[in-house]
Amino acid sequence: MECQECHQRPATVHLTQVVNGQKSEIHVCEKCAKENGYMNYGEENFTLNDLLSGLFHSEGPSPLKGNTPHSYAQKPKLKCENCNLTYEEFARVGKFGCAECYKTFDDRLDPILRRVHSGNTRHDGKLPKREGGNLHLKREIEEHKTNLRQLIEQEEFEEAAKVRDKIRSLEDQLSKGEDGDG
């Protein structure tokens, strides 16, 4: 059946309209249905957020599991103390309310982040200069430690001792820095 409006595309939308008791049938294609207002699609685009919030919901308690009423009651609602955003709201909107939310919802984030970022859950990029002061040190220490393990495996103990000393001095620096920050 062809679309009765454009007579080009096949009719894929079939409607029965009753106006003042007069019944009529409409057969149109999706495009004409939209243009003539036969169908209301609401938000035009299915946004990334819709998809995301779909993902988040699957993380919440499933109604199929543990469907005794008190199993819900035992679990207090997860809510960010800083901005008052609940996990349910986060799941619905797909956006965090503040930096603290990341800590509050931390336990539930890994599966979500893994899906969005191809399996990744940890940052491996830039560290802020000022804010990340200690982090720069920590990352450097981590790198030296990996290096140290390799050296020990390769039985290069002389070199390993040097790296070990380097790690110690960096760790000293780190603990001083942390004291300084209070």
Determine, following the binding rule CB under 8 A, whether residue 82 of this chain makes contact with other proteins. Answer: yes
* Amino acid letter, 178: E
Q: How far is the CB of 114 from other proteins (least distance, A)?
A: 9
Tell which one of 26, 39, 52, 174 touches other proteins (CB under 8 A): 52
The residues in 12-51 that bind other proteins, with binding defined as CB under 8 A, are 45, 47-49
Distances (CA, A) of 142 to 22, 132, 156, 169, 178: 78, 15, 19, 13, 17
Q: Is 104 left (phi over 0), alpha (psi -120 to 50) or beta?
A: alpha
Q: Which two tokens stand for residue 127?
A: 């560290």
Residue 118: CB partners within 8 Å, gap ≥ 6? Answer: none
Residue closer to other proteins (CB basis): 109 or 160: 109
Q: How far is the CB of 73 from other proteins (least distance, A)?
A: 28
Q: If you ran DSSP here, which 8-state letter would residue 78 be given?
A: P
Region near other proteins per CB under 8 A, out of 26-34, 63-71, 91-99, 168-176: 91-99
Q: Can you give the binding site for other proteins, defined by CB under 8 A? A: 45, 47-49, 52, 82-83, 85, 93-99, 102-103, 109, 112-113, 116-132, 135, 138
